[in-house]
Chain A
Amino acid sequence: MIYVIPAIFLVVFVFAAIKRVKLYSEFSQGVKEAVEFTVSLIPCLAAIFMMCAVFEKSGLSDALTKALAPVFGGLGIPPELTKLVLIKPFSGSGSLTYLNAIIAEHGADSYIARCACVCYGSSETVFYISAVYFAGIKVKRLAVPIAAVLVATFASTVVACLLCRIM
């Protein structure tokens, strides 16, 4: 696997050089697109991050975690994972912190940690993606696709906890 990334870069650059593409000009033009793209994201990012910060700091996220833990437990999700499952749709870095804490506390090969890893690896930061994808677009009524994604992600979490028990 470690050779995949270098191979991609080499193939693209060598192929482009053969095709006489002006590598430096085109590459920096691509970076320019990245600058514009990143700048266009900042307003949405800032708003979402502020929302997440207040949500966390106000204790609401902890209260929600406590309230939902028994429900999650009924579905086979260990209470230790409640926070991770709730945070993941909002924040990649936040949930990574929890994932690291879970691995450190329970050990990398424990049931809890394996569960957490599968949940983390097979889900995405839904709200962040929706902000990035639809930043410059007028599409409305995102509630249905977002709900579909959240339900599907939750179902896969239940499956993950089940699978880690038997695999």
Chain B
Amino acid sequence: MNAIFTVIFIASAAAMLFVAPNELLPTLIGGAESAAKMALTLFCIYAVWMGLSRVAEKSGLTRKAAKGLKPIAKRLFKTENEAALENLAMNLSCNLLGIGGAATPFAVKAIGELERDRNEFAQKLLFVINATSIQLLPTTVIALRAAAGSGAAADIFLPSLICTCVSTGLGVLLFVLSRKIKKPRKKAAK
């Protein structure tokens, strides 16, 4: 992230010198302003879902709901940490249901739990799975198309499903492969 930030920021600021030098400051402030607005929007989403997930957790419902996905999560993420597994399972099920707002808090909790075991592999794998999107039903775009007067708003369901599987599958594959390639190299260096 540091490298990306450095490259993009310096290149953009340099280009600004030629395009509109006096607009750099207002642009930056505008960026911060949209971040503040975004934070407010996000807070509203998280307030609802984290409130609900706390209630679900305290009533023991999370534990019950996570039971089905736990064995899969255990093998996938290579962890025995019960609290992490519960959050991982909840994150996966929220993603599949298409409630991304609810999925994020679970992911962050799971990453916090995994940090205790220093399980970097599972943390990164969770990121890859979430960042490649594993939504089964693209609710937002279907609603958008319906609003724009589409004749068959949901006909993108199948292509979307295939694409989301392709991206997640390929992402996980690339990530796992990259670790396999890296390991022998490190040993050789030693």
Contacts and interface: CB of A to CB of B under 8 A. Distances in A.
A126 interface: yes
Contact of B58 (A21, A58, A99, A130): A21
B31 to A, nearest CB: 3
Contacts of B151: 108-109
B168 interface: yes
Contacts of A9: 52
A143 B127 CA distance: 12
Nearest to A144: B178
A52 B35 CA distance: 11
B27 A60 contact: no
Contacts of B123: 133-134, 137, 139
The range of chain A's interface size is 35 or more
B145 A117 contact: yes
Interface string B101-138: 00011011001100100001001101110111101011
A90 B156 CA distance: 24
Task: Identify whether the interface residues of A are mostly helix, strand, loop, or mixed.
Answer: helix
Interface stretch (B14-22, B67-75, B76-84): B14-22
Contacts of B174: 147-148, 151-152
B31 A49 contact: yes
A8 B138 CA distance: 19
B189 interface: no
A23 interface: yes
A122 B160 CA distance: 6
A64 B86 CA distance: 42
A74 interface: no
B3 interface: yes
User: Chain B contact residues: over half helix, strand or loop, or mixed?
Assistant: helix
A26 B58 contact: yes
B149 interface: yes
Contact of B12 (A5, A60, A107): A60
Contact of B130 (A93, A133, A135, A157): A133
Contacts of A28: 51
Contacts of B52: 8-9, 12, 27, 30
Contacts of A12: 52, 55-56, 59, 61
Given A108-B149, A132-B104, A144-B175, A50 B127 contact: no
A121 B12 contact: no
Interface of B: 1, 3-5, 8-9, 11-13, 15-16, 19-20, 23-24, 27-28, 30-32, 34-36, 38-39, 42-43, 46-47, 49-56, 58-61, 97, 99, 104-105, 107-108, 111-112, 115, 120, 123-124, 126-128, 130-133, 135, 137-141, 144-145, 148-153, 155-156, 158-160, 162-164, 166-171, 174-175, 178-179, 182
13 contacts: A8-B52, A33-B50, A38-B39, A49-B34, A50-B35, A51-B5, A104-B148, A133-B130, A137-B112, A139-B120, A152-B167, A155-B170, A156-B166
Given A16-B59, A99-B144, A107-B148, 9 more contacts: A28-B51, A29-B54, A30-B53, A38-B46, A149-B127, A149-B131, A149-B171, A155-B170, A167-B158
